Amino acid sequence: MRNSIKALLTATVAVMIGAGAMTGPAEASVSQGWVAATTNWLGDDWDDEGEVSRNSHAYSGATGLWQAVLWADGAIESNGTRYDAEDIDCEFGPNTEAATRSWQRTTGGLSVDGQAGPRTWTAAGDHLVLDGWYEDAAIVKYVGRYGGRSFRVYRFPLDGSSTAGAYFTVAWDWSYFTYDYKPSHCAGVPGVLAS
């Protein structure tokens, strides 16, 4: 099963690379093209992530993953309500920027700039826990800070392959959390809801 999942995801990435969709600045995971781990320890999985904002990787799977964090942590959106699952659309617009500012204010120790840069991703990564295994892919749970909201995503092992450490979801039609590609089925929380 893992081989067929990995083959499908690898073929998708190959098509995207061939189409020029995987370009970006020099941050480790951005240059890989997707949100990825660099060690086997979850505590630093998101420490090298690139920026997602209205001006950088605004239409991407990485933005959708960031929006799921905003949802799980109950960030306040532009209309004064909590960030909703319906707000997750892989597009970093004014509402996501407002919710990011809210998240940064309540997290503390961060610049309140409305951009999910490396320090913001690192702070979010502190809420990742291992929640099991599916074959040799880790099931990673983001433990939200609001009302028991959490979500699960998958991470390939660090096995030296082209997809080593890559985070992905089955909820958006088997998509990686890419930086320069918006999954065609991006809608709602990108993983099985966890309690």
How many Cβ atoms are within 10 Å of 132's Cβ, its own excluded?
10
Spell out the domain ranges in the chain.
2-194
pLDDT of residue 184: 87
- Residue 152: phi, psi to the nearest 5? -115, 140
pLDDT of residue 160: 84
pLDDT digits (tens, 9 = 90+) for 48-70: 899 999 999 999 999 999 999 99
Q: Report the alpha-carbon distance of residue 147 to residue 155 in Å, rounded.
A: 25
Q: Report the alpha-carbon distance of residue 127 to residue 84 in Å, rounded.
A: 19
Q: Report the alpha-carbon distance of residue 46 to residue 158 in Å, rounded.
A: 15
pLDDT of residue 167: 92
Q: What percent of the chain has pLDDT over 90?
A: 56
- pLDDT beneath 70, residues of the chain: 1-29, 192-195
Cα angle 94, 183, 176; round to 5: 110
Q: Which residue has the tokens 């941050």?
A: 27
pLDDT of residue 194: 53
pLDDT of residue 193: 63
pTM of the predicted structure, to 2 decimals: 0.84
Q: Determine the distance from the C-alpha atom of residue 83 to the mean position of all C-alpha atoms in its chain, rounded to a whole number.
A: 16
